[in-house]
């Protein structure tokens, strides 16, 4: 079955993204100590934020987040001042993050590339 990509638009779809992040980053990889069942941050509430889920059938297998340029900034701004670079760009910029996929699909041909292209 081919991998299907979907933009999470509804509250239920966004909650599925946040639970999927938890599944990958906490349960599979043990990167964070998070006792809840989802991972979010303040950027997930922005209107300029887009989350994409990849599905194999009805099972989520990958996800990525895009934050379009906005007045509040990007997560990367907490680590580095990109202002000088942004001034050289014609148009707007975006920040991509929270890229993840389940262990079983990490070597799936085209999954990561497909998520990035969807951005």
| Model confidence at 1: pLDDT above 80 | no
User: Mind listing the pLDDT tens digit for each residue in 17-71?
Assistant: 999 999 999 999 999 988 899 999 999 999 999 999 999 999 999 999 999 999 9
pLDDT of residue 2: 85
User: Mind listing the pLDDT tens digit for each residue in 62-93?
Assistant: 999 999 999 998 999 989 998 898 889 898 89
Span between the terminal Cα atoms of the chain, in Å: 22
User: What is the pTM (predicted TM-score) of this model?
Assistant: 0.90
The per-residue DSSP string of 23-88 comes to IIIIIIS--S---SS----GGGGSTTEEEEEEEETTEEEEEEEEEE--SS--GGGGT---HHHHTT
pLDDT of residue 82: 87
pLDDT of residue 87: 87
- Residues 4, 6, 9: CA angle, nearest 5 degrees: 165
């Amino acid at each position: 079955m081919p991998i299907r990509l979907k933009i999470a638009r509804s509250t239920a779809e966004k909650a599925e993204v946040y639970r999927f992040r938890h599944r990958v980053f906490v349960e599979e990889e043990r990167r964070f100590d998070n006792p809840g069942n989802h991972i979010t941050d303040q950027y997930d509430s922005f209107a300029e934020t887009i989350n994409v889920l990849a599905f194999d059938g009805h099972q989520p297998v990958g996800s990525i987040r895009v934050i379009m340029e906005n007045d509040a900034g990007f997560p990367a701004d907490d680590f580095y001042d990109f202002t000088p670079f942004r001034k050289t760009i014609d148009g707007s910029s975006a920040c991509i993050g929270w890229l993840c996929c389940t262990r079983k699909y990490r070597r799936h041909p085209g999954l990561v590339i497909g998520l990035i292209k969807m951005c």
